[in-house]
Amino acid sequence: MSDSPFKFLRAGPPPPKVNLLPDALFFTRAIPIAADTPAAEVTAQVELALESLAPFPVAQLYHGYYHPPGASAALVFAAYRRRFTGEQTELWTEADLVLPTFVALLGAPIAPGTTLLLTHAESLTAIHAAPDGPAQIFTTPLAPATDDLPANEAALAAAKAELIRVVGGSTTVVDLATLPVAQPVASDGTFTFVAGDLVSAIPAATAAAIDVRDKDDLLARRRAHTRDLIFWRVAVGCVLALALLAVGEVALGLGRGLWQKTRLTQLAAQKPTVEKIMNAQALATRIEDLSTKRLLPMEMISLVFTKTPEVIRFSRSVADNKDIDRIVLDAKTSNSGEIPLFKSALEALPEVAHVEVSPPRTASGSSTTTFTVTTNFKPGSVKPAAAP
């Protein structure tokens, strides 16, 4: 059966990339440091001490120091750079931490007087917890292993006994069966190492000092990491903002849909009432028009007659309730020259809005010209005649 797709998520983040270097390549010294000394000054004091202690310039050393907050001394460790090949240092490029193996256990809660024994392939390291200062580090080489296993075990036991004697004796000796193994980094940046039942925690601030790589390279690395972290947080913030906007848009769409549905439901419920009101309003308007506005054909004809020349006679008039302000008159005349004058006279009336005259028509062999004049009066300008 294949592994669960959630196995990776349950496993949590992977452990950091840590290069543990052979202890035998480093020498160690304890440097007195005032408890309230700032971290930047601690680094300067360590480098100044290395200038006087080491046989090589600081620029030719891979070095670091362990100085937990409040400690009265710093444990300095350094190695000559030429002890490491180019192939070895190339592996450090992608590492999160590069340090001697014994340094990984300096964060363990070790009681004063206790000695930890670390067995490497070619050396043996003792970490002795001193009661009044930083841990003391002792390293001794081991003879090459042979095919005689009992002899190898006897030689190792003798080397351990001799190393404990060099340490000066110890109330408690913890012989670690395995070298420290890095665990996933905590959320606060703390590095954790486990060796058997022993757990060592190295805070992020302390981890920066114990890394033995070139300090300028480490500074550039930390700046690049900080920049990448800022970019990552900005990118995550943008993604979250876009997701929030998308959720808001969906919520608005759903809300708008519900609001629109509610509005349409209300409109549908109110539509019969509105139609009833509109019909009543239209009926009331019609009744008002019938009561206050009515067709006045005789009054309109009388106004037209006031400007009609004697040579023009009317044969028919047409008025319609659909347009109560218009009168259409069929006329004839023996003098067609009067027609334009007649039109101008009608247009001059203050009650008249517009006058249209059809093209004159004269029958063959006749002297009479017929035409149609349509007069549009201004609304409300024609008044009913007074009752006798």
Q: What is the tens place of the pLDDT at every residue in 208-264?
A: 889 999 887 777 777 776 787 788 888 888 988 889 888 888 888 787 778 888 888
Q: Are residues 213 and 77 in the same domain?
A: yes
> Is the residue at 336 inside a domain?
yes
Q: Are residues 205 and 63 in the same domain?
A: yes
Q: Are residues 218 and 348 in the same domain?
A: no
Residues 5-15, mean pLDDT to the nearest whole number: 60
Domain endpoint, select from 228, 258, 280: 228
Q: Are residues 214 and 310 in the same domain?
A: no
Q: C-alpha angle with apex 185: 180 to 191, nearest 5 degrees?
A: 50
> Is the residue at 282 inside a domain?
no
Q: Which of 60, 67, 27 is nearest to 46 (CA)?
A: 67
Residue-wise pLDDT for 127-173, tens only, equals 998 877 788 899 988 888 788 888 888 888 888 888 888 887 666 88
74 contacts 31 by C-beta, under 8 angstroms: yes
> Is the residue at 172 inside a domain?
yes
Token output for 109? 């809660």
Q: Are residues 223 and 304 in the same domain?
A: no
| Domain total of the chain | 2
128 contacts 167 by C-beta, under 8 angstroms: yes
Q: Are residues 215 and 353 in the same domain?
A: no
**Element (H or E) spanning 213, and its range?**
none
Q: What pLDDT was estimated at residue 376? A: 92
Residue-wise pLDDT for 275-299, tens only, equals 888 888 888 777 766 666 677 888 8
Helix intervals (H) in the chain = 7-11, 39-53, 86-90, 149-167, 204-210, 215-292, 297-305, 338-347
Q: Are residues 224 and 318 in the same domain?
A: no
State how far the Cα of 225 lies from the Cα of 212, in Å rounded to an integer.
18
pLDDT > 70: percent of the chain: 93
Q: What CATH number did the domain enclosing 317 receive?
A: 3.30.1360.100
Query: Max alpha carbon distance in the chain (Å)?
Result: 158
> Is the residue at 264 inside a domain?
no
Range of 140's domain? Answer: 15-228
Assessment of whether the complete model's pTM goes beyond 0.95: no
The neighbour count for residue 264, using CB atoms within 10 Å, is 10
> Is the residue at 234 inside a domain?
no
Q: Which residue has the tokens 């047409």?
A: 318
Q: Are residues 181 and 70 in the same domain?
A: yes
Residue-wise pLDDT for 90-132, tens only, equals 888 888 899 999 999 998 888 888 889 998 888 899 999 887 7
Q: Which residue has the tokens 């296993």?
A: 149
Q: Are residues 27 and 144 in the same domain?
A: yes
Q: Are residues 306 and 191 in the same domain?
A: no
> Is the residue at 287 inside a domain?
no
Q: Are residues 303 and 218 in the same domain?
A: no
Q: Is the pLDDT of residue 77 over 90?
A: yes
Q: Are residues 215 and 362 in the same domain?
A: no
Domain endpoint, select from 228, 257, 282: 228
What is the DSSP secondary structure assignment for residue 91, as one 8-state letter?
Answer: T
Q: What pLDDT was estimated at residue 1? A: 45
> Is the residue at 104 inside a domain?
yes
> Is the residue at 36 inside a domain?
yes
State how far the Cα of 25 lies from the Cα of 80, in Å rounded to an integer.
8
Domain endpoint, select from 189, 208, 228: 228
